[in-house]
Structure formats: C-alpha cells, structure tokens
Amino acid sequence: MDYGVEVKLKADFLVIKETLERIGICNKRTKVITPSAYILHKNGKYYIIHFKGLLALDGFREAIDQKDVDRQNAIVTLLKNWNMIDIVGDDSGVYQKELKEKVFVLKHSEKRHYTTNHKYNMRNSNREDS
C-alpha cells in the first residue's frame, strides 16, 4: 500500500476508530475538530492513514505533503505509545519525537462539546477488497 502505515491492533478496532476521531486539527473557538487520520481494514490488514491518502486511494487527485505524512506518523506514534497498536515492519521512518506540534488530542470527556468535521467519510462497499 502506497499510503498509510500498516499496524497490528492491540486494542479493539472501534476503540481505535473513536480515538482517531479525537486526534487532528482543532478550532477551540468554534469547537470543531477535524480528524487527520483514520483506520482502514483492507485485504485482512490494518492501516492508519491520513485522510488525503484515503482520497487518493479513491481516485481523487489529492496532494499529500510531508506535513501530512508527519502528522499521520505522529498519530501512529501516539497510538503505539498508548499500547493500542504495533507497527508492522520497519518503524524507523514512523517514530516521531516531537508530537505536540503535529497533532491535537481532544480529551474524551470534552468530545460532547465539540463537532467533528470529517474530511473523509468511510463507507461500506460491496467490493471484495474493502
């Protein structure tokens, strides 16, 4: 897969999905959080992938830049540090030391006060590879 980081789940899929909904770009004034990454299950494997990577997989010409990749990798590192996932294969290009500048994490207790603005909506598909 050209986009995303392959991971092995150590926590429940739905717990990881909900956690990812609270990590991204936040406007505290308007109380809107925009998730940066999603969990993708494809061909029996799991990936943490930036939303622009998902758009590219769907055929949209979305320019994913280094800042987006750094944010995705920072999120992967957070999930790994929280013992929710393991990174499959070589993780030397993923580990991020400076996480605070890359992502915002909304506390679970604050979630009800915020609106989530998804830039990508996962959908069910009848395709075999979904």
The amino acid present at 42, given as its one-letter code, is K
Q: What is the CATH number of domain 5-116?
A: 3.30.70.650
* pLDDT in 10s for each residue of the chain, 130 residues: 567 999 999 999 999 999 999 999 999 999 999 999 999 999 999 999 999 999 888 888 777 888 888 899 999 999 999 999 999 987 766 766 666 566 899 999 999 999 999 988 876 443 334 3
Query: How high is the pLDDT of residue 99?
Result: 61
Query: How high is the pLDDT of residue 129?
Result: 40
- Ordered by start, the domain boundaries in the chain are 5-116
Model pTM score:
0.84
Query: How high is the pLDDT of residue 2?
Result: 66
Q: Which two tokens stand for residue 89?
A: 């294969």
31: alpha, beta or left? (left if phi > 0; alpha if psi -120 to 50): left
DSSP label of 15: H
Query: How high is the pLDDT of residue 97?
Result: 62
Any idea what the Cα angle at residue 110 is, between residues 101 and 116, rounded to 5°?
75
